Amino acid sequence: SKQCAQRYAMIGDLLSNGEHDIVLLQEVWSEKDFLGLKKKLAFSHPHSHYFKSGVIGSGLAIFCKHRIHDTFLYRYSLNGYPYMAHHGDWFGGKAVGMAIIQIGNLTANVYVTHLHAEYCREKDSYLPHRVVQAWELQQFIRHTSAGADAVILGGDLNMHPQDLGTRLLRSYTGLRDAYLETSQFDGCEDGMTLIADNPFINKKELVPFEKGIRIDYILFKGSQKAEVHCDFMYTTKGSVPEKPFPYSDHEALTADLRLKPLIAQGTTHDNNDSSKVAELVDILTEARTEVKVGLHCAERMRYTATRTGIMGLALLILELAIAAVPWLALGAEQPFPRTSFYLLAALCCTILITTFLLYLFYTMELKSLQGAEDQMRLAVGGLQERLRGVSVDHTPLRKPPEGEEPSAFDTEK
């Protein structure tokens, strides 16, 4: 990264003023940089955690004024392709990190994440992976935040507000967008977090959005024990006063969240709103379609890898057969130079090893996509049952005693 050391120093200076209770960072790829920030913020944010994952790390970090009682990291099952080294997402081990924080008498589950980048809007080959990541993210949040009084998610989702993954995440979890909920906002136009005027970005990546895009979010929700409101939100606006360059290629988001404890009344929210359930069914159906597109693509790539491997194996067998001629026909000379023989053998072995590894990778990708599609199918079935208002008897069937015929009223009959 350009001017990396100087920018970390600027970020440290910004955070050390103690304005923020909780700080969520992404793309802190070097643990050395995290330790540098930790040392600089030791007084203003004494509690911190760095989430380690993948080859070079998840890049996720959290700094907090309040004590962090527990942390957990979930790594997404799909995260790009290892042979797309110039993109680098696969090596980063994209994940979601969770921290349980006690704020007064309230327990807050704070999540930080970074999803796979888009790179090309028109030909987004990573869309199925990002949809599965959004699905796993909402599952992780729902299943781990049941006992939380407040839930906060911050990070680079690499998705526009109306993208499928964003709608899936917000609809399923009930998380609210701080930009849409805030009473006051001060920042870039339309809340954009990746703007064209930033010197650290490639403007071609913003096509067809000339001014910029909004792909970074602070999402939140309350519970029966606490209400959460966003009173004020602002973003940085590119350049930093008296500095030659901005903090990052993305704009920083700051939200002022107000937590209001409630008196427990023992009532539950109505989760059977037919319009919301119908919207969820539509979103999940759309998500299943995208996952199936990814399935077909992975199956095609695995078939290509298999076919290429078979061709390499056939070529290797043919070469070995030719090499065996001098042994079978005594006195015969080698039909081609030894150097060429070794080079061709090395090429065949390289093809076999590469295609075998690709076959394994695409098989794992297929299973992850199939698993996500199966989960979505079950979820759609459950939602459709709620829409119809059908109560299904899940009592397991019982076999009659041996020698006794099932009666006319037997469930099995």
Task: Please tell me which residue in 45, 49, 250, 394 is annotated as part of the active site.
Answer: 250
Angstrom distance (rounded) from CA 318 to CA 335: 13
- Residue 252 tokens, joined: 């920083």
**Phi, psi at 272, each rounded to 5°:** -110, 25
Q: Are 80 and 132 in contact (CB under 8 A)?
A: no
Using the CB atoms, write b or e for 260-288: b if 16+ within 10 Å.
eeeeeeeeeeeeeeeeebeebbebbeebb
Is the omega angle on the peptide bond into residue 406 within 30 degrees of 0, that is, cis? no
How would you classify the pairing of strands 68-75 and 150-156? unpaired
Centre a 10 Å sphere on the Cβ of residue 223 and count the other Cβ atoms it contains: 19
| Beta strand residue intervals within 76-174, DSSP E | 95-103, 106-114, 150-156
Q: Locate tokens 């849409």: which residue?
A: 180
Q: Examine the residue annotation and report whether 114 is marked as an active-site residue of this protein.
A: no
Whole-number Cα distances in Å, 260 to 41, 227, 310: 28, 5, 65
Sign of torsion, CA 274 280 283 286?
A: negative
Centre a 10 Å sphere on the Cβ of residue 400 and count the other Cβ atoms it contains: 12
Tell me which residues are annotated as active site: 250
